[in-house]
């Protein structure tokens, strides 16, 4: 993960939503896809747009992962004996991944509020490309 950016208010101006860009960037992660789209629609500031795009892309990747995980778990559940183990292991993995995602989102919120463009691998580069120049 890579860091770029300045202080708490990267551009020194208010965002299109009438709030500081660092706060708008942080709020982009709160409800994932929903707040990402909202801030993307109302914001022209590239810092906020970066965090909105990163929130959207992370949410879409997370949803796609859970769909695939559910399909695999459903298939493994129907295999005798292995199904029982798959349920137990699946529940533990789901708990760990869910908590990991929660921690990641909290870190992203903090980094955005500090005025940093903290890029996730792959997703961050895409978000930066979509958001436009700094």
> pLDDT category, 12, cuts 50, 70, 90?
low
User: Residue 10 above 60 pLDDT?
Assistant: no
- Whether the model pTM is above 0.85: no
Q: Rounded mean pLDDT of 81-110?
A: 91
Q: What pLDDT, on a 0 to 100 scale, did the predictor assign at position 2? A: 56
Please report whether residue 15 resides in a domain. no
Q: Rounded mean pLDDT of 73-89?
A: 83
CB 54 within 8 A of CB 123: yes
Can you tell me which residue has the tokens 């299109």? 16
Please report whether residue 3 resides in a domain. no
Question: DSSP secondary-structure letter at 31?
Answer: T
Please report whether residue 5 resides in a domain. no
Counting the structural domains of the chain, the total is 1
User: Residue 14 above 80 pLDDT?
Assistant: no
Print the domain residue range for 105: 21-131
Please report whether residue 35 resides in a domain. yes
Q: Rounded mean pLDDT of 104-113?
A: 97
Cβ neighbours of residue 69 closer than 8 Å, sequence gap 6 or more: 90, 94
Please report whether residue 85 resides in a domain. yes
Please report whether residue 9 resides in a domain. no
Task: Give 13-16 contacts, CB < 8 A, sequence gap 24+.
Answer: 13/45, 15/39, 15/43, 15/45, 15/48, 16/42, 16/43, 16/44, 16/45, 16/48
Please report whether residue 16 resides in a domain. no
Q: Picking from 4-18, 47-61, 70-84, which range would have the lowest pLDDT averaged per residue?
A: 4-18
Q: Picking from 7-21, 45-59, 83-97, which range would have the lowest pLDDT averaged per residue?
A: 7-21
Please report whether residue 11 resides in a domain. no
Q: What pLDDT, on a 0 to 100 scale, did the predictor assign at position 75? A: 86
């Amino acid at each position: 993960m890579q860091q770029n950016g300045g202080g708490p208010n990267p551009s020194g101006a208010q965002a299109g939503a009438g709030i500081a860009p660092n706060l708008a960037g942080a709020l982009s992660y709160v409800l994932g896809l929903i707040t990402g789209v909202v801030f993307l629609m109302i914001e022209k500031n590239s810092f906020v747009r970066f965090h909105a795009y990163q929130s959207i892309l992370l949410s879409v990747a997370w949803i796609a992962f859970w769909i695939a995980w559910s399909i695999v778990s459903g298939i493994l559940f129907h295999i005798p004996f292995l199904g029982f183990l798959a349920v137990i292991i699946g529940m533990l993995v789901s708990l760990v991944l869910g908590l990991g995602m929660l921690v990641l989102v909290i870190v992203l919120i903090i980094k955005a509020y500090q005025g940093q463009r903290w890029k996730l691998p792959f997703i961050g580069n895409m978000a930066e490309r979509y958001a436009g120049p700094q």
